[in-house]
């Protein structure tokens, strides 16, 4: 990672990195350190006394059923969103790959949801599914299904999954289409000459060759579902009903800002940091080696 030709200057390089380093230290490293430190403290509800409690906040988390539920909800939500958005995107990409001439036009028609803010995507779906007002809720009503995601936890989960999936399809579509277009035609032709039909060719040649893309997207989608969907959950369900859609990120926010339980919120932040670090390492370790274009 070194250049052969470099410039000599004693001061200039430090000046050049200063803006980024200052912002990194003040707004990233210092707060992250604070989070770790606060996770070892406990405050009384009025914030008048602070005690150092070692790992008690973490011990409390381990025994906390509500936190346990939040972990389950997070994984359920993440896997549903990743699976649904990747399956739909792969299907559309395979179709688009068949009609190569029109693929570019279709790309334009499918990529724009990427630009929609998660919270706004949530509001779009909220409006269609709002009890008594929403058009889909009305349709379900007339089929005899009483839809009300404000009391039914499963329905609330379904709604946030729809919104999060809808927004993510475009991203996955783009990468799957690029992956499909990089598969050598000769392989597929050879299989066709050997008499393999489209379905057989897809499962025995195309899908295995796509596996680096699929694996990469799986990690990206899980990161997206864990962290970037806060807006959807906050705007649509506020974690409810009865914590049915309270993910780990939402709970950090809720316990810290609404519940004012700073120690527990900080301990949860630390748990999240560990998850992010793990996912980042996975992404760098495995993806760098496995993706060949």
Partner 1 sequence: MVENRPIVTIISHALIWLGILIVAFPIYVTFIASTHSLSDVVAAPMPLLPGDLFWENYGTALSAGSGAVSGGTPVWFMMWNSLVMALAIAIGKIFISILSAFAIVYFRFRFRMVFFWMIFLTLMLPVEVRILPTFEVVANLGLLDTYAGLTIPLIASATATFLFRQFFMTIPDELAEAARMDGAGPMRFFKDIVLPLSMTNIAALFVILFIFGWNQYLWPLLITDNLQTIVIGIYSMLNVGDNEAEWNIIMATTMLAMIPPVLVVVFMQRWFVKGLVESEK
Name residues contacting partner 1, limited to 194-233 (CB under 8 A): 198, 216, 220, 227, 230-231
Binding-site size for partner 1 (CB under 8 A) equals 100
Decide: 241 and 154 in contact? Cβ < 8 Å: no
Q: Is 176 in a helix, a strand, or coil?
A: helix
Q: How many angstroms separate the CA atoms of 286 and 115, rounded?
A: 29
Contact with partner 1 (CB under 8 A): which of 5, 44, 46, 289?
A: 5
Rule CB under 8 A: say whether 256 interacts with partner 1: yes
Contact with partner 1 (CB under 8 A): which of 116, 140, 158, 282?
A: 116
Rule CB under 8 A: say whether 169 interacts with partner 1: yes
Task: Name every residue whose Cβ is closer than 8 Å to that of residue 164 and which is 6 or more positions away in sequence.
Answer: 77, 81, 85, 118, 121, 224, 225, 229, 232
CB of 81 to partner 1, least distance (A): 15
Contact with partner 1 (CB under 8 A): which of 155, 168, 234, 251?
A: 234
Rule CB under 8 A: say whether 44 interacts with partner 1: no
CA 238 to chain CA centroid, Å, is 18
Bridge-based pairing state of the strands 41-43 and 50-52: antiparallel
Q: Rounded to whole angstroms, what are the CA distances from 51 to 55, 120, 149, 154, 278?
A: 12, 41, 41, 40, 30
Q: How many angstroms separate the CA atoms of 23 and 25, rounded?
A: 5
Q: How many angstroms separate the CA atoms of 243 and 148, rounded?
A: 16
Rule CB under 8 A: say whether 123 interacts with partner 1: yes
Q: Which of these ranges, 51-59, 73-81, 107-115, 148-156, lies near partner 1 under the rule CB under 8 A?
A: 107-115
The residues pairing with 50 across neighbouring beta strands, listed in sequence order, are 43
Contact with partner 1 (CB under 8 A): which of 40, 61, 110, 180?
A: 110
Binding mask 47-86 for partner 1 (x = CB under 8 A): ----------------------------------------
Q: Given the complex with partner 1, which of 157 and 235 has the nearer CB atom?
A: 235
Rule CB under 8 A: say whether 188 interacts with partner 1: yes
């Amino acid at each position: 990672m070194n250049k052969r030709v470099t410039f000599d200057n004693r001061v200039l390089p430090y000046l050049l990195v200063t803006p980024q380093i200052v912002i990194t230290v003040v707004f990233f490293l210092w707060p992250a350190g604070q989070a770790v430190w606060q996770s070892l403290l406990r405050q009384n509800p009025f914030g008048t006394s602070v005690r150092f409690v070692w790992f008690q906040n973490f011990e409390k988390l381990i025994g906390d059923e509500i936190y346990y539920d939040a972990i389950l909800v997070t994984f359920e939500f993440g896997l549903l969103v990743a699976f649904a958005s990747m399956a739909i995107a792969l299907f559309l990409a395979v179709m688009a790959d068949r009609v190569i001439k029109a693929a570019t036009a279709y790309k334009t028609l499918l990529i724009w949801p990427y630009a929609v803010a998660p919270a706004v995507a949530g509001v779009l779906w909220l409006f269609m599914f709002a009890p008594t007002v929403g058009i889909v809720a009305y349709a379900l009503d007339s089929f005899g299904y009483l839809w009300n995601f404000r009391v039914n936890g499963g329905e609330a989960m379904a709604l946030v999954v729809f919104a999060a999936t809808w927004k993510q399809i475009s991203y996955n579509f783009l990468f799957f289409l690029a992956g499909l277009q990089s598969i050598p035609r000769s392989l597929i032709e050879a299989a066709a000459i050997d008499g393999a039909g489209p379905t057989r060719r897809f499962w025995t040649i195309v899908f295995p060759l796509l596996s680096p893309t699929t694996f990469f997207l799986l990690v990206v989608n899980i990161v997206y579902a864990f962290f970037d969907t806060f807006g959807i959950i906050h705007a649509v369900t506020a974690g409810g009903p009865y914590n049915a859609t309270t993910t780990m990120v939402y709970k950090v926010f809720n316990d810290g800002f609404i519940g004012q339980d700073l120690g527990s919120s900080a301990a949860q932040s630390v748990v999240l940091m560990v998850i992010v670090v793990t996912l980042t390492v996975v992404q760098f370790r495995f993806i760098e080696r496995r993706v060949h274009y």
